[in-house]
Chain A
Amino acid sequence: MSSSTTNQHILSPGSICGKLTAFLERQTKRDIEPDLDIFAAGLVSSLFALELVVHIESTFDVAIGGPDLRLDNFRTVDRMTELVLRLRGESDD
């Protein structure tokens, strides 16, 4: 896991969404709309799902476990953004 800056700055939904979109577009070499179900669309495999989780954890400095660890949270950029915002909100200050 990355040891990111100690001074954890606030990330806007837009910047989280942008980072996730850029990551997925690099991986799939396709344009990704924020509401596209990347698994249903066949753009990524189930094996990639765990890579995605690990990437999100290290990029946004969050830990994903328990009931959050389910594919439905990772189907679209929108849902991933929601999850990151929620986890960062709960873990911050």
Chain B
Amino acid sequence: MKQRHVTVLGAGVMGTSIAALAVGHGLPVTLVDVDRAVLERARDEVTRHLRLARLMGVQTGTDVAELRTTVELADVADADVVVEAVTELADVKAKVLAEISALIGPEALVLTNTSAIPVDELAGAVAHPERTVGAHFMNPPYLIKTVEVIRGPRSSAAALAVARDFLASMGREVVVVGDGPGFVINRVLQRMINEAARIADEGLATPEEIDLLFTGCLGHRTGPLATADLIGLDNVVDSLRVLRDRTGDQGYEPSALLLAKVADGDFGRKTGRGFYEHRGTK
């Protein structure tokens, strides 16, 4: 079979790390963003991800495939697999998915890395809803092997098979789940982060103490607030709003502390400060 050509939409935290996973497994990638400045930094980000992957022993191959970047969707009309990783705003995703699906071939697979928007809602925007599947990569996707795959009610068995094969070709393991706001992971994780932020805000415990309980008592690799800093607090707030709007559950209403940090531009690791200070990293 010919080499799949991968297009990644959105060159942010996830787009660059998904691109690194793919090129590291020999699949050529074109990374698309609307922001040229973001694309300029993206190349260095991908290199940084590949270095970390190598350091951790998960990037052993030496042939890294080509990475291209563009702001023009028309450049990626030949994609075999599109991985959508743009900002977690339903209208932004629907628009870019509608545009890309009008350009690519009917056989191309569209994977969305949405954190919480139901796959079927996004499938409603594309030309071939049966070719749309959810692939919720964890952060960073090259260090965490397991991917939450979401089969929407209109996702075809054939598309799901291609998704499995594509993810397996990058050494990933999948768990296929049903569709719904936040799927499995984020229906629970976003709520956990929000409650942890409320607890910190109420002064019951510091972020360090909260995280220490989750790592020390529950065996989590990192606690909820360190996880939130890794995800990006802006993305956490967007995901919470998606969940609140689609479930009506006020428990997903973003906590005041999260909103204040986002208003201050403290998004976590990507800006250098969130619940923690991140000197050294960006």
A residues with CB within 8 A of B:
42, 45-47, 49-51, 53-55, 69-71, 74
Contacts and interface: CB of A to CB of B under 8 A. Distances in A.
A55 B280 CA distance: 8
A47 B221 CA distance: 12
A50 B48 contact: yes
A53 B51 contact: yes
B57 A47 contact: no
Contacts of A49: 52, 55-56
Q: Which 9 A-B pairs have the closest CB atoms?
A: A50-B52, A51-B280, A69-B54, A69-B55, A49-B55, A46-B56, A51-B281, A71-B55, A50-B55
B143 interface: yes
A42 B211 CA distance: 13
Contacts of B55: 49-50, 53, 69-71, 74
B255 interface: no
Nearest to B54: A69
Interface string B135-174: 0000010010000000000000000000000000000000
Interface in B228-264: 230
B51 A50 contact: yes
19 contacts: A42-B215, A46-B52, A46-B56, A46-B143, A47-B140, A49-B55, A49-B56, A50-B55, A51-B281, A53-B51, A54-B280, A55-B280, A69-B55, A70-B54, A70-B57, A71-B55, A71-B56, A71-B57, A74-B55
Interface of B: 48, 51-52, 54-57, 140, 143, 215, 221-222, 230, 280-281
Nearest to B230: A47
A42 B170 CA distance: 28
B217 to A, nearest CB: 14
Contacts of B281: 47, 51
Contacts of A47: 52, 140, 230, 281
A47 B227 CA distance: 12
A46 B140 CA distance: 11
B257 to A, nearest CB: 23
Contacts of B143: 46
Given A53-B51, A71-B55, A71-B57, 13 more contacts: A42-B215, A45-B222, A46-B52, A46-B56, A47-B52, A47-B230, A49-B55, A51-B280, A53-B55, A54-B280, A69-B55, A70-B54, A70-B55
Contacts of B52: 46-47, 49-50
A45 B52 CA distance: 12
A54 B221 CA distance: 23
B26 to A, nearest CB: 19
Contacts of B140: 47
A50 B280 CA distance: 10
A15 B222 CA distance: 33
B171 to A, nearest CB: 17
Nearest to A74: B55
Contacts of B54: 69-70
A45 B143 CA distance: 12
A54 B52 CA distance: 11
Nearest to B143: A46
